[in-house]
Structure 1
Amino acid sequence: MPDHRATVLLTQCAGMFLVQLDVTVVNVALPTIGARLHADLPVLQWIVDGYTVVLAALLLCGGALGDVLGHRRVVLAGFAVFGAASAGCALAPAGSTLIAFRVAQGAGAALLLPGTLAVITRTYPGRREQARALGIWAGVSALALSAGPVLGGVLVSVAGWRSLFWINVPLTALAMAGTLLVPRDPPASGRVDVKGTVTGAAALALLVFAVIESSVAAGLAGVAAAVVFVAVERSSPAPMLPLALLRSRTFAAANLVAGAMNFAGLGTILVVTLYLQGVRHMPPLTAALAMLPGFLPLSLLAPVTGRLTARFGPRPVMISGLLTGVAGLCLLLRVTEHSTVAGSVLPAFALVGVGLGLLTAAVVAAAVGGVPADKAGVASGVNNTARQAFGALGIAAFGAIAGSPAQPAAFVHGLHVAALVGAASWLAAAALTAGAVGDPGRNRVAGDR
């Protein structure tokens, strides 16, 4: 691998690591933050959701901006916003201020995340080498997911909750320095679809807000905004989301599967964490360490998945991951109030982790491979949007189904129901994959009708 390509891959993986890390690293610190800032439960919820909702709402815009302005430039801007917002979070004197800077963090993350994937796919144009690079990218993403709770527990214990955000500042500066070594973008043309950006972001934000807050009014407003977004994109001369991309069965199906993956995956992580801490009364760091056998397959399998995808295509890898995850979700039906963690929870959670590890790189490769190369930014933006938006929906839905762990019997029953919902969504995703996902090399928009 030439040196400049290794630098590109390392730098972009580092940026994506920071974005994914901040999805989970704060959770374990919420009780401490609440006590130090005198924040009530709704404020604590929005400290997490303010980042996730804005990230989901603006990811598509970030990918489109990269296609128009150049991904190197947009990634640098995203790093700058993310780093400055992280410093603001670390200095926040109150819960409301922390929420505001978490929102700004989400905006910076939405700028840089799709660009990291687009830069990597441009640097590795060949199918096999691209699949391997995406496997590394996905492995780092999975590592961030598993490292978040553990790193959060260690930092809160050793240096306090503000260190969760201070650590981003020097890392962001290093990532910006590395990005400056990336070759400049080729000349880009076009313009930013402002109307599409506004209506698309509004639709996603309102729909996610509706699920989190159980607001019918917000849901109806989100649907209305989505209808307006489609109408705007149909009439726009330079749409943010060219609707013709959805004619690719592989692209459309890969994004639906990516959404289902995070819907059940992140929802399961939430209810298992609540079970360990609320029902089994484990301290946060102990619970995070106990879940490592489930998180480790995410990191270990993702590079392997890249090689398997390069050799066999994404479809068999995706189906294998989905069915493995279904088996793990079904094993959660054996969990009781008094189950041993090693004998019941961890085998189930480990299988879900194996399923996620097999899926992550394969769904990205299928989505990016299903569109023309010059639409890689839009493709990665749509794929990440699907993952983040459905992940937020999964967290809200699984949390609502399971209820409060303060009532252990009811919570365990809700956990079983949530596991069945997750298994059903992954079975449907497996059927969709079998029928619609093919070889990305033969499923471009022009030829995949």
Structure 2
Amino acid sequence: MADAPATLLRRVVGPARHAGSPRTVLVVMCAGYFLVLLDVTIVNVALPSIGSGLGTDVGGLQWVVDGYALALAALMLTSGTAGDRYGHKRVVLTGLGVFGLGSLACGLAPDVPVLVAARVVQGVGAALLLPGTLAIIGRAFPDRAGRARAIGLWAGIGSLALPAGPLLGGLLVDGLGWRAVFLINVPIVLAALVRSAAVVHESREGDAPRIDLPGMLLGGLLLVATTYAFIDGGRSGAGAPQVLTAAVVAVAALVAFGAAEARRGDDAMLPPALLERPAFDAANIAAGIMNLCTLGTLFVLMLFLQSVQDRSALTAGLAVVPLFAPLAVIAPFGGRITSRIGARLPAAAGLLCAAVGLALLSRAEPRSAYPVLLPAFLLWGAGLGVLTPAVVAAAIAAVPGERSGLASAVNNTARQTGGAVGIAVAGAIAGRPGDQAHFVRGFHVVALGAAGLYAAAVALVLLLLPGALVPARR
């Protein structure tokens, strides 16, 4: 199972003729990318087992998921610049090493604080690794046609990680326990490290800007304070002193972040000039809403399937495969449709389809049979398959060509940020699965709220996204 991405790539592009060939580089980089995305979904299946094994509540489980997502979101933009400045190979190798060490620490964690800290380390490694994989693939395939084919395979391998996560997670948790979900990464990372060191050539940009340290720190503080306010607000109530303090810190960090980025101008981690483009803003807001609703609802859904409906980790993982399989299958076709007719209509259609699927989840009850859930999963997943390539393409098309890499990184950051906040909000609304009646009501509120946000985003994309993907001018 762990070799599935590399095996698929070898079948599609053929065996590499020699070490350092573009095909070898593609296989190794896609293996790293697969691991990063696998950890976005695989952990959700293990949450009930982690909760019972380490004696933690929903708040602790939220931090287990969000520790990874917050580090990934906070460092995504900076790590791309670090690769340009210090060398993509060096940054990717560092990311693989950090990710592997974090995975090992997760698998050996004796309690929740150590596990959350290890998840943050994993997220740091993932943030260093993710942008560099695409940059290295771009350098390995200098011709446009070969690069486009390689990037398509890279994206396809990433899509496979989403349905593989719940399925593989269920197998590991039921067969070996929740620690195996993390420990399985270690041998794969070691193999990828050795192979990457041998086949990847170093590359860097001579005129790369300096790392925006104030922006990185203030942006990270904003994300952590916001997440803490929601998670602890669900435990202690919105009026608790620590919750109010976290909210004040978040607002102050937001103001300071805006001021710091304005001072740096085009050298900022998030250049203010980009935010003056309405289509760019709309694409990233839609991307943030997409992950806020998807990952937030998924967090509560996996607790519902296991803790309320008493499914095993494996059957719960199998249950949500129809949610992620349409995303993996439809996304490539969604990309082709977007390239032909523009992002506006595919984004709106994807949002509406996913909204209907999420709304149908409000029918789920403790004794609901699987056929009640299946239509919701299929519609939700199909909507995501159309929506995802549309919002990414819209964000890139909204900026000049030389800033397309930054636009992609901002869009990815928006998605990771939305996911982190969504998990915090959804967990706070649903509460403890042990209080079954309250939890089920909260699950319904989360599903309907997510559907409402998706429906509201339809108006945003119809109003602000262009009808055709015309490259933006300066």
Note whether the superposition's TM-score is higher than 0.5: yes
SS class of match (1:25): helix
Q: Letter of the 2:414 partner, please give it.
A: A
Q: Deviations over 1:89-131 (max 9, x none)?
A: 2333444333222211111111122333445566779999877
Q: CA deviation at 1:389?
A: 1.4
Mapped contact 1:121–1:376 kept (Cα < 8 A):
no
**Corresponding residue to 1:193 among 205, 212, 215:** 212
**Corresponding residue to 2:385 among 357, 362, 378:** 357
Counterpart for residue 295 of structure 2: 266
Counterpart for residue 85 of structure 1: 102
SS class of match (1:299): helix
Greater CA deviation, 235-244 or 59-68? Answer: 59-68
1:146 is aligned to 2:163: yes
1:431 is aligned to 2:450: no
Mapped contact 1:75–1:112 kept (Cα < 8 A):
yes
1:235 is aligned to 2:263: yes
Summarize the Cα distance change of 1:68–1:185 in structure 2 as closer, same or farther, 3 Å threshold.
same
1:218 is aligned to 2:235: no
SS class of match (1:418): helix
Counterparts of 1:138 and 1:271 in 2: how far apart (Å)? 27
* Total equivalences in the alignment: 445
Summarize the Cα distance change of 1:34–1:279 in structure 2 as closer, same or farther, 3 Å threshold.
closer
SS class of match (1:281): coil
Summarize the Cα distance change of 1:76–1:305 in structure 2 as closer, same or farther, 3 Å threshold.
farther
1:5-404 to structure 2, matched below 5 A, reads 6-34=23-51, 36-37=53-54, 42-119=59-136, 136-176=153-193, 177-178=195-196, 181-189=199-207, 190-214=209-233, 215-236=243-264, 238-342=267-371, 344-404=372-432
Counterparts of 1:15 and 1:351 in 2: how far apart (Å)? 30
Quote the sequence identity (%): 49
Summarize the Cα distance change of 1:348–1:41 in structure 2 as closer, same or farther, 3 Å threshold.
closer
Q: CA deviation at 1:291?
A: 1.8
Q: Letter of the 2:458 partner, please give it.
A: A
Q: Letter of the 1:199 partner, please give it.
A: L
Q: CA deviation at 1:136?
A: 4.2
Q: Letter of the 1:419 partner, please give it.
A: A
Summarize the Cα distance change of 1:376–1:178 in structure 2 as closer, same or farther, 3 Å threshold.
farther
Mapped contact 1:117–1:380 kept (Cα < 8 A):
no
Q: CA deviation at 1:407?
A: 4.2
Q: Deviations over 1:165-207 (max 9, x none)?
A: 2221232234342476445435332211222221122122222
Q: Deviations over 1:221-271 (max 9, x none)?
A: 112111111111111262111111123333221111110111111122223
Higher RCO (CA 8 Å, separation ≥ 6 residues): 1
Summarize the Cα distance change of 1:323–1:370 in structure 2 as closer, same or farther, 3 Å threshold.
same
Counterparts of 1:346 and 1:161 in 2: how far apart (Å)? 26
Summarize the Cα distance change of 1:93–1:331 in structure 2 as closer, same or farther, 3 Å threshold.
closer
Summarize the Cα distance change of 1:171–1:445 in structure 2 as closer, same or farther, 3 Å threshold.
farther
Mapped contact 1:200–1:229 kept (Cα < 8 A):
yes
Mapped contact 2:174–2:312 kept (Cα < 8 A):
no
Q: CA deviation at 1:405?
A: 3.7
Counterparts of 1:403 and 1:384 in 2: how far apart (Å)? 29
Q: Letter of the 2:216 partner, please give it.
A: T
Mapped contact 2:400–2:471 kept (Cα < 8 A):
no
Summarize the Cα distance change of 1:377–1:182 in structure 2 as closer, same or farther, 3 Å threshold.
farther
Counterparts of 1:330 and 1:299 in 2: how far apart (Å)? 22
Greater CA deviation, 27-36 or 352-361? Answer: 27-36
Q: Letter of the 1:417 partner, please give it.
A: V
Counterparts of 2:59 and 2:364 in 1: how far apart (Å)? 29
Mapped contact 2:396–2:404 kept (Cα < 8 A):
yes
Mapped contact 2:91–2:129 kept (Cα < 8 A):
yes
Mapped contact 2:85–2:205 kept (Cα < 8 A):
no
Q: Letter of the 2:302 partner, please give it.
A: T
Mapped contact 2:93–2:129 kept (Cα < 8 A):
yes
Summarize the Cα distance change of 1:397–1:37 in structure 2 as closer, same or farther, 3 Å threshold.
closer
Summarize the Cα distance change of 1:432–1:135 in structure 2 as closer, same or farther, 3 Å threshold.
farther
Summarize the Cα distance change of 1:205–1:122 in structure 2 as closer, same or farther, 3 Å threshold.
farther
Using structure 1 for the length normalisation, give the TM-score.
0.88
Counterparts of 1:429 and 1:122 in 2: how far apart (Å)? 36
Using structure 2 for the length normalisation, give the TM-score.
0.84
Mapped contact 2:58–2:431 kept (Cα < 8 A):
no
Q: Which runs of 5+ in 2 are unaligned?
A: 1-12, 234-242
Mapped contact 2:212–2:269 kept (Cα < 8 A):
yes
- Structure 1 vs Structure 2 CA RMSD: 3.0
Q: CA deviation at 1:334?
A: 3.2
Counterparts of 1:418 and 1:111 in 2: how far apart (Å)? 32
